[in-house]
Amino acid sequence: EDKVVQSPLSLVVHEGDTVTLNCSYEVTNFRSLLWYKQEKKAPTFLFMLTSSGIEKKSGRLSSILDKKELSSILNITATQTGDSAIYLCAVGKGAQKLVFGQGTRLTINP
């Protein structure tokens, strides 16, 4: 059975801290790993990773995939209250199907 596991499930930090969110997977027919941010409504696309060891960056966010360890991390530096959200990891199984992890609820306190 396909599995995507995120940790921690919940994280509370102070503004300015750096956080690391984890995602591990066991999915047949792996094609890619994606990170999304979900606030109140639509999940918003952050990154898609297909190659191991290549870091993707967007401002204070970065992510890297380790295909040998079947895992990925999402780093957020200098956190802001606007980073508070649920961060979802999803693995592309075949060309069209995404298998989601349960999400990490991140709370940034001022």
Partner 1 sequence: DTEVTQTPKHLVMGMTNKKSLKCEQHMGHRAMYWYKQKAKKPPELMFVYSYEKLSINESVPSRFSPECPNSSLLNLHLHALQPEDSALYLCASSQEGFPYNQPQHFGDGTRLSIL
Name the site residues for partner 1 (rule: CB under 8 A). Answer: 31-32, 34, 36, 41-45, 48, 50, 88, 90, 92, 94-98, 100-103
Q: How far apart are CA 34 and CA 97, in angstroms?
A: 12
- Shortest distance, CB of residue 107 to partner 1, whole angstroms? 14
Q: Which is nearer to partner 1, 13 or 99 (CB)?
A: 99
- Shortest distance, CB of residue 75 to partner 1, whole angstroms? 20
Q: How far apart are CA 77 and CA 90, in angstroms?
A: 22
Residue 47 makes CB contacts below 8 A (sequence gap 6+) with 34, 35, 56, 58, 61, 63, 74
Q: Which is nearer to partner 1, 17 or 105 (CB)?
A: 105
Q: Which is nearer to partner 1, 32 or 75 (CB)?
A: 32
Q: How far apart are CA 78 and CA 76, in angstroms?
A: 7
- Shortest distance, CB of residue 34 to partner 1, whole angstroms? 6
